[in-house]
Chain A
Amino acid sequence: MATGTPFSPLMTPARPPFWRNVKVLRAVIQIIALLGVGVVVYVLFFNVTNNLRARGIRTDFEFLDQPFGVRIAGSDLSPGAPVRAALINGVKNTLALTVVGLPLLTILGVLVGVGRLSANWLVSKVSTVYVEILRNLPPLLLIVFAFQAVILRLPPARSPVTPFGWFVISNLETHVPGFRAGEGYATFISIVGLALAVGALVWWWRTRVQQEAGAPHHRWAWSLGLVAVVATIAYLVIGRPLTITLPVLTGRVVDGGFRGLGAFFAVMGALVLYTSSHVAEIVRGSIQAVPKGQTEAASALALSGFQRLRFVVLPQALRTALPPVINQYLNYVKNTSLAIVVGFAEVTLIAFQAIGNGQPAPQVIITLMAAYLVFSLVISLIINVLNRRLRMVTR
């Protein structure tokens, strides 16, 4: 009876009705959940805008075009400049804190982290004390302390000191020698930029030469030498695109050089110390996570302690350390918002000033959050690229 018929009823895959077909039900639940989330979000949004309108508060983003109304420390913006320009100024200041602070805290963190594992008793104890104290204090406290106990103790603004005639230092601001852009500055910078790009290519080329032919690469000398030569030639040919200036004090005005506000150093110093203590712990943990066999093998190859660290342990340790370190970088960026307490005009202070001078609070806060989000996403993007490159090296 069943012979010759390959599709007997027992072998046919029967499709259950849609109301108990698992695949259909799963899709339906997803759709319902999505709708549910959408409804909740819509209700909340509707609620907020409704309440704002009921109280006569605006719900648009036109505040960005309104005049800011006040001057900002350390910038030339006039009070009539739009809020948008003021916020961008604030972002520049946060960027300054980030660009200066992140490399510093990385270097410090790695040094202290390695120091904790040092055989030298003094070095390891000092590192331990450093980490334990700084890690356990709130960053706000550290910032206020750095401001009040360190920066404010410098000479008052009305009578700064001028060591060596090269610096002008007071508790308000510090002036260091700098340069001023002259004619042809833009051309010069683009040539140097190009030289750096070519230098990176030269670096890669020399590394390949070493990998394939075995000759010493001397890649630092090649690439930096190229950049230096090109920069010097460009400098001489263009004329004087830069002039070195020393800060000169006349009365209350300082002419020349670069300037840093005291509050900037307080915030940066405190946060660098705080975040580096966390990074030190991460580095220490990741070094200890490298298998002991690696250090033993390195010793067997007669590598010195430093060479062992530099060529065997650290490259492997940094791979594990990178994700938590990205986290610390983001924490650093977010903690810069505490600078409002000491009056440093980074983006949070500007936003709060705008709110205090009549701009609608919800929209300003949303803009502020968007700014921090962009910041954090860019930083983690850059470092994740690095992370991926390191990962591809493992077996």
Chain B
Amino acid sequence: MKLRLIAALAAVFLLAACTQAADTTTTVGTPTTADGGVTTTADTGGSTVPAGETTTTGATGDGLLAEVQARGSVRCGINEAVPGFGFLEADGTRSGFDIDFCRAVAAAIFGDPEAVEFVPLTAQQRFTALQAGEIDVLIRNTTYTASRDGGEGATFLSTTFYDGQGMMVRADSGFTVLEDLANTAICVLSGTTTELNLATRFVDIPYEPLTFEENDVLQEAFVAGQCDGWTSDKSQLAGVRSAFPEGPDALVILEETFSKEPLGPAVRDGDSQWAQIVDWVVNVTIIAEELGIESGNVDTFADTENLEIRRLLGLEIESDEGVAVFNAGLGLDPGWPADVITAVGNYGEIFNRNVGPDSPLGLERELNALWTEGGLIYAPPFR
């Protein structure tokens, strides 16, 4: 009796040992492609990747695109506490610049802007969640930096918002330049480039950094006067100022911009097809604004002579060889840009709806204007 028990246990353990030796790619969690051999910048520390790990993406259906299509929704990592970018309204709906781009990705893949699963994340959790596969794409006012590209295992895509870091103080404090804030406490969110830039800019100025996990407690501390300055991306500060209980005029954002903060979506390293899809979703919104296509007038271009528009919207193009529809080979059905534009509009519409001059944030386009109007928003051609 006991002997049989011992024999059974021994068999189980031997089995475990054998399977572990043969299958070197046991993964825990979502079965994403372990494309270790493809990434170069991410492979730090001299560790070699086992040879059996590279898998092909694309038509074989092993990539993240196939997984997302099978699941039926895109998991998007977002912020829910920044008005204008990622905000949870009182009635439970989500609104914001980044939220709209999440919906654009869903519209591109499924034709349905609501096929999104929003995953709210703190600044601390966002990269871990992306690395672990809990989200497919991170659109959470995240700054594109070298160390995030390399060390954090993330791939950054086209910048959606060119921002800079600023400092917000009370209007009655009398501070006008950053040097006035010597020997005061400055509130900042932990785990952000903001913290690092603050340390760099204030290297010769004595100050006390108060790092908080969430904006709620930070705002309480700022309102109570525990810290005299609140530093963050200027767009976030504008959002907070617009929703400030004492009114936006009680606060002033100092002039100086002390860093570059290009904000854009990020995906996990290793899946080029998925990265390209998200990248081109952003690009088509920009191209649509260049071409004058809006969410309301997408259908009116059926007879246009403009070949760029016909390519973008997946309309038939007549040539000497016959009739053809342009397919960029990204893995999506042609005409997906039309779905995106119908769902969320072009870049200008997304900007104006969420953060534009008529919105509570009241931001001007400035750096975020089209390249034809002196700004930095520029997309490669869709051909």
Contact = CB atoms under 8 A, between A and B. Distances in A.
A353 B49 CA distance: 29
A206 to B, nearest CB: 49
What 5 A-B pairs are tightest by C-beta distance, nearest first? Answer: A356-B191, A156-B225, A56-B42, A152-B224, A79-B199
A181 interface: no
Contact of B224 (A36, A153, A253, A349): A153
Contacts of A113: none
A352 B28 contact: no
B147 A358 contact: yes
B250 interface: no
A174 B208 CA distance: 14
Contacts, number: 179
Interface residues of B, number: 71
Contact of B269 (A55, A343, A353): A55
Nearest to B269: A56
Interface string A325-355: 0000000000000001111010001001101
Contacts of B306: none
Contacts of B44: 56, 58
A32 B217 contact: no
Interface stretch (A64-72, A221-229, A299-307): A64-72
Interface in A356-373: 356-358, 361
A43 B20 contact: yes
Nearest to A74: B208
A341 B209 contact: no
A39 B225 contact: no
Contacts of B12: 36
A69 B182 CA distance: 19
B141 to A, nearest CB: 14
**Size category, A interface:** 35 or more
A148 B220 contact: yes
B103 interface: no
A348 B187 CA distance: 18
A58 B47 CA distance: 8
A62 B45 contact: yes
A171 B195 contact: no
Most buried by A among B42, B45, B123: B45
Contact of B192 (A56, A147, A172, A356): A356
B131 A57 contact: yes
A262 B224 CA distance: 12
B36 A53 contact: yes
B227 A157 contact: yes
Nearest to B124: A356
Contacts of B269: 55-56
